[in-house]
């Protein structure tokens, strides 16, 4: 789906949700959630293309696939965390959104620690200590 169609869907959803919000605010949250899920679903095809292109680049350069997998996981965690936090904020639960963001950041740090140790090991070998 083109970005124009996605934006039209989003704007139409916002207009409808803002109209419904004055009468039944809980329905506006569900409508907002539905629009967000639809936009996410329509955007997934772009993600598969990006993964294919990165895989093609990996064949041209010599880099461990582990780093690419980790990078893609970190990007996925960032997007999912942002998505969930935005929905929590939209529903009026800012404190929960903050905790979701904190959990996402801690998960990304936890997952990247092995890479940091690998970089430090390479530096140590390079310096000869």
Q: What residue segments make up the domains of the chain, in order of their start?
A: 1-61, 63-129
Q: Per-residue pLDDT for 129 more than 70?
A: no
**Mean pLDDT confidence for 1-27:** 84
Query: What are the backbone angles phi and psi of residue 63, rounded to the nearest 5°?
Result: -140, 145
Instruction: Specify the pLDDT at position 105.
Output: 95
Length of the chain in terms of residues written: 129
| First-to-final CA distance of the chain | 54
Q: Per-residue pLDDT for 70 more than 80?
A: yes
**Mean pLDDT confidence for 121-127:** 87
Instruction: Specify the pLDDT at position 10.
Output: 86
Give CA–CA dist 32/91, Å, rounded: 9
């Amino acid at each position: 789906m083109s970005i124009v169609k996605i934006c039209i869907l989003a704007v139409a959803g916002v207009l409808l949700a803002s109209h419904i919000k004055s009468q039944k605010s809980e329905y506006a949250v569900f409508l907002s959630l539905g629009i967000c899920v639809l936009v996410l679903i329509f955007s997934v095809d772009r993600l598969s293309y990006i993964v294919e292109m990165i895989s093609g680049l990996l064949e041209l350069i010599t880099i461990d696939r582990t780093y690419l997998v980790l990078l893609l996981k970190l990007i996925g965690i960032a997007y999912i965390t942002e998505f969930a936090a935005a929905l929590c904020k939209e529903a009026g639960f800012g404190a929960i959104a903050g905790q979701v963001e904190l959990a996402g950041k801690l998960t990304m740090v936890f997952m990247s620690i092995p890479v940091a140790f690998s970089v430090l090991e390479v530096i140590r070998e390079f310096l000869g200590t």
